[in-house]
C-alpha cells in the first residue's frame, strides 16, 4: 500500500487510504527526535512510522495532531484524538484512559563525553562519586536514586540541556532513553560515547510502551491490540525501531 503524506503549517500528516476508510485524529509528540521530527517539511520519526503502520492496518485515514507530550493523554481523554502515541509507559496511563498491549520494552542507557573508557557493567561502586545527569521527574531519575545512591546526581529540564552539560563536562555521565542517546551520539558526530549495557528494569522503568485510548473506545483498543500482536510477530515494529532508535524494542 502506498502512502500520500502531506504536511501543513501545523505539521499535520495525512495517510491517504480509500475513500471508504474511517477518518481519525491521532495525537503524538512534536520536536522529540528520534521519535518525532521534521525532514524536508514532513513529519518523520519512530512515532510517525508506527502510526502509519497502525493506520494502514486499521484501514483508517489518520490526521496527526502534533503536540507537547504532556498534552497527549488530555486530548485522548477529551475525545479530541482517537488514540495517542508518545512513548507512554503502561504504568503512566491516566485513570480516564485505556492502554493497549505493550508494543515495546523501555530501554535506557548511559552516555559519556568523548572517548572515555568505561567498563561494560557500571557497578554501584564504580559510579560512587561520579556526576550523573538525568531528566528531572523522569523514570531515570528514580532509577539513579534507587540503584546508584553513591553517585552525585544532577537533574536537568530536558535531554538537550543535559547533553550540553555533558559536552561541557559539567557531569561525567548521563542516563536517558536509549533511542534518544543513540540519536544524540549519531547527530553530534563523536562528541558522545554510549557506555555500559542497555538498562531494562521494569520495577522502575515500567512494563513497556503502550498506546493510549479513551475508556469509551474499547472497540478500537481491541483492533489496535490485534495489529500490535501481528506486527510484533512479523518483525515490523522491530524494523521501525532499528531504523529510528538503533535497537529492537523486543
CATH number at residue 92: 3.40.190.10
Report yes or no on 25 lying in a domain: yes
Are residues 138 and 90 part of one domain?
A: no
Are residues 100 and 112 part of one domain?
A: no
40 half-sphere exposure, CB direction, 13 A CA radius = 2
Are residues 115 and 199 part of one domain?
A: yes
143-166 burial, b at 16+ Cβ within 10 Å, e below that, comes to bbeebbeebebbebeebeebbebb
Are residues 214 and 99 part of one domain?
A: yes
Are residues 162 and 193 part of one domain?
A: yes
Are residues 136 and 100 part of one domain?
A: no
What percentage of residues in the chain have a pLDDT greater than 90? 71
* d(C-alpha 139, C-alpha 158), whole Å: 13
Are residues 148 and 118 part of one domain?
A: yes
Sign of CA dihedral 33, 39, 41, 44: negative
Residue 197: the pLDDT is: 86
For 46-100, the pLDDT digits (tens) are 999 999 999 999 999 999 999 999 999 999 999 999 999 999 999 899 999 999 9
Are residues 118 and 99 part of one domain?
A: no
63 and 25 Cβ atoms separated by less than 8 Å? yes
Global pTM value:
0.85
Q: Residue 93 sits in which domain range?
A: 14-104+209-245
Are residues 178 and 120 part of one domain?
A: yes
Are residues 176 and 122 part of one domain?
A: yes
Are residues 112 and 70 part of one domain?
A: no
- CA end-to-end span of the chain, whole Å? 26
For 135-191, the pLDDT digits (tens) are 999 989 998 998 889 999 999 999 999 999 999 999 999 999 999 999 999 988 878
Higher pLDDT, 190 or 18: 190
Orientation angle between helical segments 159-167 and 178-187, nearest 10 degrees: 50
Report yes or no on 5 lying in a domain: no
Report yes or no on 4 lying in a domain: no
Sign of CA dihedral 54, 56, 58, 63: positive
227 and 54 Cβ atoms separated by less than 8 Å? yes
Report yes or no on 215 lying in a domain: yes
Are residues 84 and 160 part of one domain?
A: no
Total domain count, the chain: 2
Amino acid at each position: 500500500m502506498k502512502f500520500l503524506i502531506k504536511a501543513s503549517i501545523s505539521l499535520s500528516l495525512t495517510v491517504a487510504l480509500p475513500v471508504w476508510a474511517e477518518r481519525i485524529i491521532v495525537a503524538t509528540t512534536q520536536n522529540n527526535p528520534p521519535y518525532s521530527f521534521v525532514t524536508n517539511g514532513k513529519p518523520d520519526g519512530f512515532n510517525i512510522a508506527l502510526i502509519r503502520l497502525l493506520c494502514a492496518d486499521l484501514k483508517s485515514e489518520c490526521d496527526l495532531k502534533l503536540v507537547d507530550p504532556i498534552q497527549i493523554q488530555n486530548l485522548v481523554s477529551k475525545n479530541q484524538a482517537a488514540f495517542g502515541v508518545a512513548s507512554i509507559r503502561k504504568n503512566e496511563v491516566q485513570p480516564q484512559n485505556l492502554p493497549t498491549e505493550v508494543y515495546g520494552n523501555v530501554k535506557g542507557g548511559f552516555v559519556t563525553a568523548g572517548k572515555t573508557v568505561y567498563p561494560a557493567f557500571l557497578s554501584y561502586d564504580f559510579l560512587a562519586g561520579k556526576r550523573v545527569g538525568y531528566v528531572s521527574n523522569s523514570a531515570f531519575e528514580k532509577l539513579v536514586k534507587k540503584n546508584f545512591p553513591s553517585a552525585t546526581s544532577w537533574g536537568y529540564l530536558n535531554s538537550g540541556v543535559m547533553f550540553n552539560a555533558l559536552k561541557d563536562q559539567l557531569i561525567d555521565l548521563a542516563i536517558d532513553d536509549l533511542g534518544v542517546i543513540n540519536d544524540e551520539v549519531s547527530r553530534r558526530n563523536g562528541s558522545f560515547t554510549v557506555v555500559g549495557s542497555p538498562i531494562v528494569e521494569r520495577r522502575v522503568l515500567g512494563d513497556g510502551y503502550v498506546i493510549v485510548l479513551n475508556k469509551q473506545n474499547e472497540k478500537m483498543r481491541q483492533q489496535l491490540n490485534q495489529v500490535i500482536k501481528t506486527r510484533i510477530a512479523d518483525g515490523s515494529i522491530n524494523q521501525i525501531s532499528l531504523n529510528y532508535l538503533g535497537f529492537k524494542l523486543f
